[in-house]
C-alpha cells in the first residue's frame, strides 16, 4: 500500500515522464545511429569490393575465356596475382556450380552450393549482380558479392567474400558504448528529474497537508509563499481561501447551532422530505410524536412511515395540495390529535426540493377545550336538575301545597335531598379546585394500610348486605403494610372506588379486596364481577363528570367527580391508580402507593 502510494505521487510521475522521454529519445537516436553506422560499413565494404573488381579488370579478363574449365590454371594464376594484398576471398564458379579457382586452395574443385551463399551464386549464373550478408561454415559474418562472368551467355560467377567480423565487433562495441552512455544519461535524468520534481511537489505537498488538516477542522493552517510563479500563486490563493473559509464556516456554524437548538427544543415536530420520499431531517419532537428512530429515518421511506398514521399525508397528496401555498389539516391517531401544516421548499434556483412539514400535538389543547365545554355543560346540567326540582316543589308549596302537612313534609324532604346533592357537587368541585391548585393540605403520617382497609370495609358492610353481595378480604387482616398517607383522604379514595364496585355489581355479586407488596410499592386491588366497562370508555373514566352509565349513575346519586378526585389524591401521594375492565365481566381497580421507609420509631395509626 505504501509502495503504491509512493509511486502514485506526482513527484515520481514527473521523474518517470522525464525518464521515459529521455529513454525513448536516446533509444530512437541509438537505433538510428547504429543502423546508419552498419549501413555505412556495409556500403563501404561493398564499394571496396566492387572497386577492386572493376579496377583489377577481373570480369573483363574472365569474360574473354570461351570455356572457364579449359583455362583453370590460367585463371588461378590471375586470381593469385589479383589477390595480393586482398584480405577477402575470391572464388570463380563455373556453370556447374563448381569452384574452379580461388585464393583459398582448400575449396578448389568444391561444390559452391555447399560453401557459398546459394542465392548469390544462382543469381550470378542468371546474369544478375547479387549481394548478401551471411555466415560461413565457421560461423563468421561475411559480405558476399556475385558478379556474372559472361560474353554472350553466362559462363560463371566471380564470387567475392569479405570477413565482417571486425566491422561487427566495432558496431557491437559502439552499441555497448551507446548503452552505457544511455544508462548514464538516464541516471542523470532521474536525479535531475527528482530534484526538479521535488521543487514542484514540496510546495504542493505542503498545500495538501495543510488542506488535509483543514478538512479535519483545523483552520489555523497557513502556507508560506516562496516564489512568484504558479505554485506561489497557488499558495497565496490557498491562504486567501483559508481566511474566507474560516469566516464563512464561522457564520455557518453559528447559524447551524442556532437552528439545531431551535429544532431540538421545539415542542412542534418538523420533518423535511425530499421529492424522492427520503426523510432529510426529523427533529426529536417529530420522532417522538411518530414513534420513529434514527434507523427508521435512514432505512424507511416517508410514505411507509406516514401511511400508518394517515394515508392522506402521503408525499403525492402533499405535493398536490401545496401547489399554490402551504396547507394544513388535522388527524387523530391512538387517542392523540395532531395538527399538520406543510409546504414546499425550494433551492437557490427556485426549483422544488421537497416538503417541510410541521406537526403539532394538540391533544392536550383539544382535550382541554372539550373538557371545558363538557365541564360547563355538566355543571350546568348537574345544577339544573336539582334546581328544577327545588323550583317545582317550591312553587307547588307556594300554590297551597303547604297547607297539606303530609305533602308539604314530603316535598320538603325532596328539596332537602336535592339541596344535599347540590351541596355534594359544590363540595366536590371545590375539592378538585384545591387539588388542582395544590391548596389541599395533606397530613401524611405512617399508617397501617390493612387497618385503614378494615375500617373502610366496615363502613360499606351494610350496603353490601342490602344487595346480598359477597365482600371478601383476601389479604391477611392481621398483617401490617406501612405507608405514608393522609388517612382521611385515602379513606375517601378507597370508599369511592369500593362504592363504585358495589353500585355497578348486581345483587348477589362478588367483590374482592387484596393487598400485595411488590418491590417498594403496595398494590391495593379491588375486583368485582359487575357490569364492567367497554374498552373504548376506559381511557375516560378519570375525566370529570364522565359517567359510563349516565342514567344509572345520576339515579344512584353520583356526581361523576369521584374517580377524578381519587386520581388526584393518589397522585399527590406519589402513587397511581388504573382501571382494567371488560364489558359484562367486571372491573379491577389497582391503587399503587409507595411503602413507608424503615424508621427506628414510628407513629402508627
Using DSSP's 3-state secondary structure scheme, residue 221 falls into coil
Judgement on whether residues 454 and 547 belong to the same structural domain of the protein = yes
Looking at residue 440, its pLDDT comes to 66
Instruction: Please report, rounded to a whole number, the percentage of residues in the chain having pLDDT higher than 70.
Output: 84
Note whether residue 277 is domain-resident: yes
Note whether residue 312 is domain-resident: yes
Q: Is the pLDDT of residue 29 over 80?
A: yes
For the segment 318-333, the average pLDDT, to the nearest whole number, is 76
For the segment 276-280, the average pLDDT, to the nearest whole number, is 85
Domain boundary among 169, 198, 232: 169
pLDDT bin (cut points 50, 70, 90) of residue 510 is: very high
Judgement on whether residues 396 and 307 belong to the same structural domain of the protein = no
pLDDT bin (cut points 50, 70, 90) of residue 512 is: very high
Residue that wins the pLDDT comparison between 493 and 364: 493
Domain boundary among 436, 463, 478: 436
Q: How many structural domains does the chain have? A: 4
Listed residue (131, 44, 45, 37) closest to 87, CA to CA: 45
Judgement on whether residues 153 and 271 belong to the same structural domain of the protein = no
Judgement on whether residues 29 and 156 belong to the same structural domain of the protein = yes
Looking at residue 602, its pLDDT comes to 46
Q: Using CA atoms, how far apart are residues 352 and 320, in angstroms rounded to an integer?
A: 12
pLDDT tens digits along 513-566: 999 988 889 999 999 999 888 888 888 787 766 666 554 444 454 556 778 878
Residue that wins the pLDDT comparison between 23 and 409: 23
CATH number at residue 353: 3.30.450.20
Per DSSP bridges, beta strands 352-361 and 336-346 are antiparallel
Of 30-39, 215-224, 318-327, where does mean pLDDT reach its minimum? 215-224
CATH number at residue 386: 1.10.287.130
Of 17-26, 413-422, 532-541, where does mean pLDDT reach its minimum? 413-422
Cβ neighbours of residue 84 under 8 Å, at least 6 residues apart? none
Looking at residue 600, its pLDDT comes to 44
pLDDT tens digits along 192-213: 888 877 777 677 777 777 777 7
Note whether residue 64 is domain-resident: yes
Residue that wins the pLDDT comparison between 96 and 516: 516
pLDDT bin (cut points 50, 70, 90) of residue 591 is: very high
Report yes or no on whether pTM surpasses 0.85: no
pLDDT tens digits along 164-184: 888 888 888 888 888 888 889
Q: Is the pLDDT of residue 111 over 80?
A: yes
pLDDT bin (cut points 50, 70, 90) of residue 439 is: low
For the segment 363-381, the average pLDDT, to the nearest whole number, is 68
Judgement on whether residues 474 and 429 belong to the same structural domain of the protein = no
Strand partners, 511: 471, 528
Looking at residue 307, its pLDDT comes to 81
For 398, phi then psi, to 5°, come to -70, -25
Judgement on whether residues 355 and 377 belong to the same structural domain of the protein = no
Looking at residue 7, its pLDDT comes to 53
Count the alpha carbons within 13 Å of 65 in the hemisphere toward its beta carbon. 20
Looking at residue 552, its pLDDT comes to 46
Looking at residue 377, its pLDDT comes to 62
Would you say the C-alpha torsion 525, 530, 536, 542 has a positive or negative sign? negative
Of 138-147, 275-284, 427-436, 483-492, where does mean pLDDT reach its minimum? 427-436
Contact 469, 502 (CB under 8 A): yes
Note whether residue 562 is domain-resident: yes
Judgement on whether residues 71 and 129 belong to the same structural domain of the protein = yes
Judgement on whether residues 278 and 324 belong to the same structural domain of the protein = yes
Q: Is the pLDDT of residue 423 over 60?
A: yes
pLDDT bin (cut points 50, 70, 90) of residue 380 is: low
Of 132-146, 169-183, 207-221, where does mean pLDDT reach its minimum? 207-221
Looking at residue 101, its pLDDT comes to 87
Judgement on whether residues 91 and 31 belong to the same structural domain of the protein = yes
pLDDT bin (cut points 50, 70, 90) of residue 603 is: very low
pLDDT, mean over the chain: 80
Note whether residue 193 is domain-resident: no
Judgement on whether residues 165 and 18 belong to the same structural domain of the protein = yes
Instruction: Please report, rounded to a whole number, the percentage of residues in the chain having pLDDT higher than 90.
Output: 7
Q: Using CA atoms, how far apart are residues 340 and 329, in angstroms rounded to an integer?
A: 5
Contact 333, 250 (CB under 8 A): no
Looking at residue 65, its pLDDT comes to 80
Note whether residue 23 is domain-resident: yes
Contact 553, 541 (CB under 8 A): no
pLDDT bin (cut points 50, 70, 90) of residue 253 is: confident
Count the alpha carbons within 13 Å of 437 in the hemisphere toward its beta carbon. 6
Domain boundary among 436, 465, 488: 436
Judgement on whether residues 513 and 418 belong to the same structural domain of the protein = no
Note whether residue 528 is domain-resident: yes
Q: Using CA atoms, how far apart are residues 426 and 381, in angstroms rounded to an integer?
A: 13
Cβ neighbours of residue 428 under 8 Å, at least 6 residues apart? 559, 561, 562, 565
Note whether residue 251 is domain-resident: no
CATH number at residue 481: 3.30.565.10
Expressed as residue numbers, the domain containing 486 is 445-594
Judgement on whether residues 392 and 526 belong to the same structural domain of the protein = no
Amino acid at each position: 500500500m505504501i509502495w503504491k502510494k509512493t509511486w502514485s505521487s506526482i513527484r515520481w510521475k514527473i521523474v518517470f515522464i522525464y525518464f521515459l522521454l529521455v529513454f525513448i529519445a536516446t533509444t530512437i537516436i541509438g537505433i538510428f545511429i547504429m543502423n546508419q553506422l552498419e549501413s555505412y560499413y556495409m556500403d563501404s565494404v561493398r564499394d571496396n569490393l566492387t572497386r577492386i573488381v572493376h579496377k583489377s579488370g577481373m570480369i573483363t579478363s574472365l569474360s574473354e575465356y570461351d570455356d572457364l574449365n579449359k583455362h583453370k590454371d590460367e585463371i588461378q594464376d590471375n586470381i593469385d596475382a589479383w589477390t595480393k594484398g586482398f584480405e577477402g576471398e575470391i572464388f570463380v564458379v563455373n556453370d556447374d556450380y563448381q569452384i574452379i579457382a580461388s585464393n583459398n586452395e582448400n575449396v578448389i574443385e568444391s561444390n559452391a552450393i555447399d560453401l557459398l551463399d546459394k542465392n548469390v551464386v544462382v543469381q550470378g549464373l542468371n546474369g544478375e549482380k547479387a549481394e548478401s550478408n551471411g555466415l560461413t561454415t565457421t560461423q563468421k559474418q561475411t559480405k558476399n558479392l556475385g558478379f556474372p562472368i559472361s560474353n554472350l551467355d553466362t559462363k560463371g560467377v566471380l564470387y567475392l567474400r569479405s570477413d565482417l567480423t571486425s566491422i561487427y565487433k566495432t558496431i557491437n562495441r559502439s552499441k555497448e558504448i551507446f548503452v552505457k552512455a544511455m544508462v548514464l544519461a538516464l541516471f542523470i535524468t532521474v536525479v535531475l528529474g527528482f530534484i526538479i520534481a521535488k521543487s514542484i511537489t514540496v510546495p504542493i505537498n505542503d498545500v495538501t497537508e495543510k488542506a488535509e488538516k483543514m478538512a479535519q477542522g483545523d483552520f489555523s493552517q497557513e502556507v508560506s509563499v516562496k516564489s512568484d510563479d504558479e505554485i506561489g500563486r497557488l499558495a497565496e490563493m490557498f491562504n486567501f481561501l483559508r481566511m474566507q473559509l474560516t469566516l464563512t464556516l464561522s457564520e455557518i456554524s453559528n447559524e447551524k447551532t442556532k437552528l439545531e437548538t431551535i429544532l431540538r427544543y421545539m415542542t412542534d415536530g418538523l420533518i423535511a422530505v425530499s421529492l424522492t420520499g427520503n426523510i432529510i431531517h426529523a427533529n426529536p419532537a417529530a420522532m417522538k410524536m411518530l414513534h420513529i428512530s434514527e434507523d427508521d429515518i435512514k432505512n424507511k421511506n416517508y410514505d411507509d412511515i406516514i401511511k400508518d398514521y394517515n394515508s392522506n399525508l402521503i408525499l403525492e397528496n402533499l405535493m398536490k395540495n401545496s401547489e399554490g401555498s402551504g396547507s394544513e389539516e388535522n388527524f387523530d391517531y391512538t387517542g392523540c390529535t395532531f395538527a399538520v401544516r406543510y409546504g414546499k421548499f425550494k433551492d437557490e434556483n427556485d426549483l422544488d426540493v421537497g416538503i417541510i412539514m410541521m406537526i403539532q400535538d394538540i391533544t392536550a389543547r383539544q382535550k382541554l377545550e372539550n373538557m371545558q365545554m363538557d365541564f360547563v355543560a355538566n355543571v350546568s346540567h348537574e345544577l339544573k336538575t336539582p334546581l328544577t326540582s327545588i323550583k317545582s316543589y317550591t312553587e307547588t308549596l307556594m300554590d297551597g301545597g303547604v297547607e297539606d302537612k303530609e305533602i308539604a313534609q314530603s316535598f320538603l324532604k325532596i328539596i332537602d335531598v336535592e339541596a344535599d346533592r347540590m351541596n355534594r357537587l359544590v363540595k366536590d368541585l371545590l375539592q378538585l379546585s384545591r387539588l388542582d391548585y395544590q391548596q389541599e393540605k395533606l397530613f401524611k403520617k405512617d399508617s397501617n394500610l390493612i387497618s385503614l382497609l378494615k375500617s373502610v370495609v366496615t363502613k360499606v358492610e351494610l350496603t353490601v348486605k342490602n344487595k346480598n353481595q359477597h365482600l371478601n378480604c383476601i389479604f391477611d387482616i392481621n398483617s401490617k403494610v406501612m405507608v405514608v398517607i393522609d388517612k382521611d383522604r385515602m379513606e375517601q379514595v378507597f370508599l369511592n372506588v369500593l362504592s363504585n364496585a358495589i353500585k355497578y355489581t348486581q345483587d348477589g355479586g362478588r367483590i374482592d379486596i387484596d393487598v400485595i407488596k411488590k418491590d417498594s410499592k403496595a398494590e391495593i386491588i379491588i375486583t368485582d364481577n359487575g357490569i364492567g366497562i367497554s374498552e373504548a370508555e376506559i381511557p375516560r373514566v378519570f375525566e370529570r363528570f364522565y359517567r359510563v352509565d349516565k342514567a344509572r349513575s345520576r339515579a344512584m346519586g353520583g356526581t361523576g367527580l369521584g374517580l377524578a378526585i381519587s386520581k388526584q389524591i393518589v397522585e399527590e401521594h406519589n402513587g397511581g391508580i388504573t382501571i382494567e375492565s371488560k364489558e359484562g365481566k367486571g372491573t379491577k381497580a389497582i391503587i399503587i402507593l409507595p411503602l413507608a421507609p424503615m424508621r427506628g420509631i414510628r407513629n402508627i395509626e
